[in-house]
């Protein structure tokens, strides 16, 4: 994962200019556009459609702490003030972490009259000042997600940039991370939940503080990647209610059939086949079972393939609890493949 990029960043050491170059190259390789350096900023990437990303790079300032994010953003505000035509997205990066924010959330701060905006932006990379104090609650209010280059694919970074370009926000990535890395995928945690829409409702109630999750190491890490809450002795306390209009827009845009099939097949691989291999015979058997085609049932086997029969029965107890989509047309076209 990101092996070449990590090697380049390691070779850059504490040289901010070289770290900046690594990120500039990665973004340029993923989008059509050109880099420039107006107002002596670290970089402004202008895409062919006019969408613009302002880059600020640091050598060693992990963004797993909101105070560090606020310090860098305070410097970024002084760059933004110099632009008559504001960029669309702020992208801040360091050796192993990066995070992005839509510029429009900062516009009210740029209206402040008692700030000496003519001062050098680099003089304001610090954890003090009026703007710094204002940025702390602002970044709590607008959910963000910290990407860790040694853990998260850079393709996810690109995906979030595309989401911001499409008018969405970061909740999609926070939602996926929560269920992929925190809650896992056992059906016992889903009860009668649907694989997509009901999990989305559970996610919303969680961020609103209406459902409780016991605090543990994974949730502690989650609060570092996404500043949505603080941990009590045995549960998570969320800061506030969030606006879910853009997240609802994302959920409504999903192809539930495709997503549910992929989710179910992943569950089959892990729990029924107990395998990490995406074998064609596994995909074929899964398709036959969901389409209710004839199969040969043996002792702990289906069509001669060894399975966990207990997990197999558990799946169908869950599967028939609520109405399902008609997967026939999709499955007859192609066998679901794990992404």
For residue 208, the model assigns a pLDDT of 86
Who wins on pLDDT, 146 or 178? 146
d(CA 295, CA 293): 6
Q: How many domains does the chain have?
A: 3
What pLDDT, in 10s, does the model give residues 265-284?
888 888 899 887 888 899 89
Residue 89: CA count within 13 A, CB half-sphere: 27
Tell whether 338 is covered by a domain.
Answer: no
Q: What is the pTM of this model?
A: 0.79
For residue 192, the model assigns a pLDDT of 46
Choose among 110, 111, 136: nearest CA to 121.
Answer: 110
Domain shared by 237 and 267, yes or no: no
pLDDT for 167 beyond 50: yes
Q: Which residue has the tokens 């107990």?
A: 274
For residue 211, the model assigns a pLDDT of 80
d(CA 80, CA 90): 9
For residue 166, the model assigns a pLDDT of 92
Decide: 327 and 293 in contact? Cβ < 8 Å: no
pLDDT for 310 beyond 80: yes
pLDDT for 5 beyond 60: yes
Domain shared by 57 and 200, yes or no: no
Confidence bin at 293 (pLDDT 50/70/90): confident
Tell whether 185 is covered by a domain.
Answer: no
What pLDDT, in 10s, does the model give residues 68-89?
999 999 999 999 999 999 999 9
d(CA 9, CA 14): 9
For residue 188, the model assigns a pLDDT of 47
Q: Give me the mean pLDDT over the 240-268 stretch.
A: 82
For residue 322, the model assigns a pLDDT of 64
d(CA 132, CA 134): 5
For residue 184, the model assigns a pLDDT of 62
Handedness of CA 57, 103, 29, 172 (dihedral sign): positive
- Its domain, for residue 267, covers 256-333
Q: Which of 15-29, 177-191, 226-240, 320-334 has the highest mean pLDDT?
A: 15-29
Tell whether 37 is covered by a domain.
Answer: yes
Domain shared by 52 and 161, yes or no: yes
Domain shared by 220 and 121, yes or no: no
Domain shared by 204 and 277, yes or no: no
Of the listed ranges 119-133, 185-199, 213-227, 301-315, the one predicted with least confidence: 185-199
Tell whether 265 is covered by a domain.
Answer: yes
Buried (b) or exposed (e) across 260-282, using 16+ Cβ within 10 A?
A: bbebbbbbbbbbbbeeeeeeeeb
Who wins on pLDDT, 330 or 145? 145
Tell whether 264 is covered by a domain.
Answer: yes
Tell whether 186 is covered by a domain.
Answer: no
d(CA 303, CA 255): 30
For residue 1, the model assigns a pLDDT of 62
What pLDDT, in 10s, does the model give residues 311-324?
888 888 877 776 66
Domain shared by 269 and 216, yes or no: no
Q: Give me the mean pLDDT over the 213-229 stretch.
A: 86
Tell whether 187 is covered by a domain.
Answer: no
What pLDDT, in 10s, does the model give residues 112-158?
999 999 999 999 999 999 999 999 999 988 889 999 999 999 999 99
Q: Which residues pair with 91 in a beta bridge?
A: 55, 100
d(CA 216, CA 186): 18
Q: Give me the mean pLDDT over the 300-312 stretch.
A: 90
Domain shared by 69 and 197, yes or no: no
Q: Is 19 exposed, middle or buried (0-12, 13-18, 19+ CB in 10 A)?
A: buried
For residue 150, the model assigns a pLDDT of 92
Domain shared by 7 and 154, yes or no: yes
For residue 194, the model assigns a pLDDT of 56
Task: Find the distance separating the first CA and the last CA of the chain, reported in whole Å.
Answer: 15
What pLDDT, in 10s, does the model give residues 7-21?
999 999 999 999 999
For residue 100, the model assigns a pLDDT of 97
Domain shared by 109 and 208, yes or no: no
Who wins on pLDDT, 97 or 291? 97
Q: Print the SS3 string covering the chain.
A: CCHHHHHHHHHHCCCHHHHHHHHHHHHHHHCCEEEECHHHCCEEEEECCCCEEEEEECCCCCCCCHHHHHHHHHHHHHHHHHCCCCCCEEEEECCCEEEEEEHHHHCCHHHCCCCCCCCCHHHHCCCCCHHHHHHHHHHHHCCCCCEECCCCCHHHHHHHHHHHHCCCCCHHHHHHHHHHHHCCCCHHHCCCCCCCHHHHHHHHHHHCCCCCCCCCHHHHHHHHHCCCEEECCCCEEECCCCCCHHHHHHHHCCCHHHHHHHHHHHHHHHHHCCCCCCCHHHHHHHHHHHCCCCCCEECCEECCEECCHHHHHHHHHHHCCCCCCCCHHHHHHCCCCCC
What pLDDT, in 10s, does the model give residues 34-44?
999 999 999 99
User: Could you give the maximum distance between any two Cα atoms of the chain, in Å?
Assistant: 78
Domain shared by 34 and 134, yes or no: yes
Tell whether 339 is covered by a domain.
Answer: no
Domain shared by 222 and 327, yes or no: no
Within 10 angstroms of residue 225's Cβ, the number of other Cβ atoms is: 22
Task: Report, in angstroms and rounded to the nearest whole number, the Rg of the chain calculated over CA atoms.
Answer: 23
Domain shared by 140 and 81, yes or no: yes
């Amino acid at each position: 994962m990101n092996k070449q990029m990590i090697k380049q960043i390691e070779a850059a050491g504490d040289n901010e200019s070289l770290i900046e170059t690594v990120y500039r190259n990665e973004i340029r390789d993923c989008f059509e556009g050109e880099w420039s350096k107006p107002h002596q900023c670290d970089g402004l990437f202008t895409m062919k459609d006019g969408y613009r990303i302002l880059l600020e790079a640091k050598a060693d300032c992990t963004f797993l702490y909101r105070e560090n994010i606020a310090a860098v953003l305070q410097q970024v505000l002084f760059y933004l003030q110099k632009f008559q035509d504001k960029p669309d997205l702020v992208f801040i990066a360091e050796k192993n972490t990066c995070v992005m924010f839509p510029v429009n959330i900062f516009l009210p701060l740029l209206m402040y009259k008692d700030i000496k905006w003519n001062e050098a932006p680099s003089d304001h990379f610090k954890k003090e000042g009026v703007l710094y104090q204002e940025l702390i609650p602002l970044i709590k209010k607008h959910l963000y997600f910290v990407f860790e280059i040694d853990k998260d694919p850079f393709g996810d970074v690109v995906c979030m940039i595309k989401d911001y370009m499409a008018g969405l926000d970061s909740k999609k990535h926070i939602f996926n991370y929560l269920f992929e890395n925190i809650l896992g995928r056992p059906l016992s945690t889903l009860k009668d939940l649907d694989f997509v829409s009901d999990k989305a409702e559970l996610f919303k109630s969680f961020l609103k503080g209406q459902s409780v999750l016991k605090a543990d190491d994974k949730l502690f890490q989650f609060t570092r990647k996404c500043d949505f809450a603080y941990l009590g002795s045995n549960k998570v306390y969320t800061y506030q209610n969030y606006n879910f209009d853009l997240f609802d827009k994302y959920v409504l845009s999903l192809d539930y059939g495709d997503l549910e099939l992929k989710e179910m097949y992943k569950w089959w691989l892990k729990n029924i086949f107990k395998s990490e291999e995406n074998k064609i015979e596994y995909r074929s058997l899964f398709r036959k079972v969901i389409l209710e085609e004839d199969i040969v049932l043996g002792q702990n086997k289906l069509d001669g393939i060894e399975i966990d029969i207990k997990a197999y029965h558990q799946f169908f107890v869950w599967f028939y609890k609520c109405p399902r989509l008609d997967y026939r047309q999709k499955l007859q076209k192609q066998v679901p493949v794990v992404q």
